[in-house]
Amino acid sequence: MSVLYLVRHGQASFGTDDYDRLSDLGKEQSRITGRFLAAQGIEPDRIVHGEMLRQRQTAEGLLEGMGLSMDAHVDSGWNEYAAWELTGVLDDVDPRAKHDSKIFQGELERGAARWASGEHDEDYTETYKQFTSRVERALDDAVAAMESGQTTIVVSSAGAIAWTAARLIGGGFDQWMAFNRVTINTGITKIITGRGGTSLISFNDHGHQDPKDATYR
């Protein structure tokens, strides 16, 4: 069997003018995660991340923590959906959502339900169906690239990782949203693949982080 680890990016910069970059805590979370993976004897044959800066910075932190020097592969299929677009098309967004992560989460879920309904596809640069399809392709590509017994680490974001988990348990929007809601920065999701297919083994493991440093954005 081969193993695929999906790692959510470290804490980004919510509430600033540029969310797509790691905070100082996010950078340290990434290094801690790398040290944890190395301590578990995990030696990746391949590391992949999406195109987003926070994903690349997290991959760099993982490698630093693991004491490894290797080139990462970039796959845009692991990019996150456009969260601000989902809330931006709502008529009555709570203005506090820009700086209050709890309020933002509620507005995001309202926007996601509208997005996933398929009734307003013209309002989005990427439809819900297009998002889920590209994440599924990225997963299939990551699995296909591994030879038997190999290990790959993928750095992505909450939405893409949550959809991967939902797909593997045969779930849909409700399962996706439930996973998406609780995904913690640098949480680790483990997937195995072999003759029996591709299976979800664990989701959002974050025991390597100090509880006081656990973050969701």
- Kindly write down the DSSP assignment for every residue of 32-74, as one continuous string: HHHHHHHHTT---SEEEE-SSHHHHHHHHHHHHHHT---PPEE
Same domain, 58 and 100: no
Same domain, 95 and 150: no
pLDDT confidence of residue 97: 77
Provide the β-strand partners of residue 7. Answer: 155, 188
Domain boundary residue, one of 93, 125, 157:
125
Same domain, 150 and 113: no
d(CA 137, CA 145): 12
Residue type, 23: S
Same domain, 153 and 47: yes
Q: CB under 8 Å to 117, separation ≥6 — which residues?
A: none
Segment 186-214 shows an average pLDDT of 96
Same domain, 145 and 120: no
Domain boundary residue, one of 125, 154, 178:
125
- Identify the band that residue 100 occupies on the pLDDT scale cut at 50, 70 and 90: confident
Same domain, 74 and 96: no
pLDDT confidence of residue 84: 85
pLDDT confidence of residue 92: 86
Length of the chain, in residues: 217
The continuous run of DSSP H or E covering 189 comes out as strand 188-194
pLDDT confidence of residue 17: 66
pTM for the full model?
0.93
Q: Does the pLDDT at position 15 exceed 80?
A: no
Same domain, 54 and 133: yes
- Could you report the per-residue pLDDT of 51-95, keeping only the tens digit for each? 999 999 999 999 999 999 999 999 999 999 998 899 989 988 888
Same domain, 68 and 171: yes
Domain that holds residue 116: 82-125
Same domain, 145 and 202: yes
Segment 99-123 shows an average pLDDT of 91
Question: Which is nearest to 78 in space by CA: 177, 7, 150?
Answer: 7
Same domain, 194 and 175: yes
d(CA 63, CA 154): 12
Domain boundary residue, one of 100, 125, 150:
125
Same domain, 46 and 148: yes
- The least confident of 61-65, 93-97, 124-128, 129-133 is 93-97
Which residue shows structure tokens 């690239």?
Answer: 145
CATH number, domain with residue 64 = 3.40.50.1240
Same domain, 40 and 140: yes
Provide the β-strand partners of residue 190. Answer: 5, 202
Domain total in the chain: 2
d(CA 46, CA 217): 26
Question: Which is nearest to 179 in space by CA: 206, 160, 199?
Answer: 160
